[in-house]
Amino acid sequence: MQEKIQELLKDRLTEDDYRKLTALKNQKLHRFVADAIELCNPDSVFVCTDSRKDVNFVREQAVATGDESTLAMEGHTVHFDGYHDQARDKANTKYLVPPEIQLGANLNQIEKEKGLSEVRGYLKNIMSGRRMFVRFFCLGPTNSDFSLSAVQLTDSSYVAHSEDLLYRSGYEQFKKLGDSEDFFRVLHSAGELENFVSRNVDKRRVYIDIEDDIVYSVNTQYAGNTIGFKKLCLRLAIRKADREGWLSEHMFVMGVHGPGERVTYFTGAFPSFCGKTSTAMIEKETVIGDDLAYLRRKNNGVYAVNVENGIFGIIHNVNAEDDPGIWKVLSSPGEVIFSNVLVADDTPYWEGDGREHPEKGVNHSGDWYRGKKDDDAKEIPPSHKNARYTIKLSGLDNLDERADDPEGVPVGGIIYGGRNARTWVPLKQAFDWDHGVITMGAILESETTAATLDAVGVRNFNPMSNLDFLSIPLERYIQNHLDFVKDIENPPLIFSVNYFLKDVHTGKYLNGMKDKYVWLKWMELRAHNEIDALRTPVGFIPKYEDLKRLFREVLDSDYTEEQYAEQFKIRIPENLNKIARMEEIYHTNVADTPQTLFDILAEQHGRLLEVVKKFGDYPSPFDL
């Protein structure tokens, strides 16, 4: 078998590419590449090492093939996905599951042999006339306990180029694997192209083989469906973490700067449109990563790394005033890939960028002019609401100096944030680890906004902001969190934030956009036990005098007793309703929910009832 594989590789690869591939002494890797060549039948294969020459070739091909076009500013390019290929395809993203594995009814899955037959049928000869790129990357820092090796095969030079910006090069890391079978694999094809975009999106499939750690993606170009190391391999990493006793999370990692030279590191999980990126990117602090984190126990603590090395960010509303750090990168020479924005005179524009837009140009719909409508008579905006930018983190002025530390960074706190107009106070701290996991992570919700297709105000249940990407039953995922710090004397503190609390009478937000700067400073002080807090039925909240001082120090603004009383009053009816709602969800939809969840919710319910007897439905923090 191995001899046949080597014969095929020698026959289909150039002498140079064969040398580069076989320098990696890994039979599983060779089988994977040989099988993909035989299945997809590319005209040529390019094996990309970590060398500058190889990486530059991929970038040059992205422009040469029409996958990307150059823009006026040096290093900037633009890519357009198909009109109906603008987001993650949740319906056609499925786990390939053998009969003996039970994932739980809430996970989208298909019987493995049936799914393999379908997706491999679509992949048959799909790269004929095209080049296959073989890319090697490391998830997490290289030469680290956190390092996970990964290989992707793709016929999209745009995908291959994007990965250069988003991940650490991993060819040399692969050499250290030897013949180990412990790595992730991705096979992708954009499929038949029409005007440089995937034509057969009705046959778009993203299938994840949880037994063999392989992602198959076909007939799509949108990065969320094609760059396998983002949310697709997050699913594989969750299963690996489950087996090995660590956590793979949908979290940012950032450094909050305290008194003197102290830096305290926080991770944070926020659903979409809840302030995750704006928190991670706060200019006065330092960023390690904005999206994915691995957490491990070491040195009697919890340490975290950023899985990635770049940002694939939503560009909607990014502007010089609100996002100066990102804006500087997007408006300076250097490597940036824009996707699905408006281009006029080789300049990119997008909704909310603070500039006057041209009346015509080119966007994801082709030639665009103001008032243009699609086949459903809907007006096409200048840029798609999910338009993106792809950059390296190294372009940011506030990148933390430990961003690539192979040891990771010690986690002082974990933050859960959701969009909640009526229930949660802007900031609170859990009583302990279990209380935080359950009342801040496992019952996390986010309300929909006008930016989504759902009705405004609908609550989406999203525990740990990771529900869409779970590859193990939810009950086991929660239990893994509960068990994670059992041997750790002083685990990270757990906090929740809510930037979207509203005045019930006026409907206006009760907090300013920059109040989060203050919340972070308070959390940093709490992580070192340098500031006191007020105990409430739902957790610890800040004392007024401390917030008054921090608002003056951090934002140079006044913070009144009236603001504090309104923002931090305990909304008991809403909190009781939320507990009842969560108990119903877990009783009805989650088999074998840990009893700890129901116990902790019952205890919180009891504390709320005790307070309502003394102070009524909406007690002021001054009452407590």
Give the CATH number of the domain where residue 46 resides.
3.40.449.10
> Which residues form the catalytic set?
274
Residue 69 domain-assigned (yes or no): no
Say which CATH number the domain at 446 has. Answer: 3.90.228.20
Across 106-127, average pLDDT: 95
Helix pair 112-123, 27-40: axis angle to 10 deg: 60
Q: Are residues 146 and 265 in the same domain?
A: no
Do 390 and 497 belong to one domain?
A: no
> How far is the CA of 50 from the CAs of 47, 136, 137, 360, in angstroms?
10, 8, 9, 41
Question: Do 326 and 303 fall into the same domain?
Answer: no
Q: State how far the Cα of 289 lies from the Cα of 311, in Å rounded to an integer.
A: 8
Could you say which of 217, 244, 271 is where a domain stops? 244
The last residue of one of the domains, among 378, 395, 412, is 395
User: Has residue 84 been placed in a domain?
Assistant: no
How far apart are the C-alpha atoms of 155 and 590, rounded to whole Å?
Answer: 40
Give domain status of residue 427, yes or no. yes
Q: Is 70 exceeded by the pLDDT of residue 452?
A: no
- Looking at the fold, whether 299 and 348 belong to one and the same domain comes out as no
What pLDDT score was predicted for residue 457? 67
In a domain, residue 255? The reply is: yes
| Residue 218 to residue 189: CA distance in whole angstroms | 5
Pairwise CA distance, residues 456 & 294, whole Å? 33
Q: Which CATH number goes with the domain that contains 383? A: 2.170.8.10
Proportion of the chain above pLDDT 90, given as a percent: 94
Band the pLDDT of 447: cuts 50, 70, 90. confident
Specify whether 304 is located in the same domain as 173. no
How many domains in the chain? 3
Domain boundary among 244, 275, 295: 244
Same domain assignment for residues 115 and 161: yes
Same domain, 463 and 607: yes
* Residue 173 is assigned to a structural domain of this protein: yes
Q: Is 575 part of a structural domain of the chain?
A: yes
Same domain, 305 and 316: no
What lies within 8 Å, CB to CB, of 295 at 6+ separation is 246, 247, 248, 249, 251, 267, 302, 303, 304, 411, 484
Are the CB atoms for 211 and 185 separated by under 8 Å?
Answer: no
pLDDT digits (tens, 9 = 90+) for 215-270: 999 999 999 999 999 999 999 999 999 999 999 999 999 999 999 999 999 999 99
The residue range of the domain holding 570 is 248-309+404-615
Query: Which range is least confidently modeled, 272-286, 358-372, 395-409?
Result: 272-286
pTM, two decimals, is 0.96
**121 in helix, strand or coil?**
helix
Same domain, 458 and 596: yes
- Do 271 and 324 have their domain in common? no
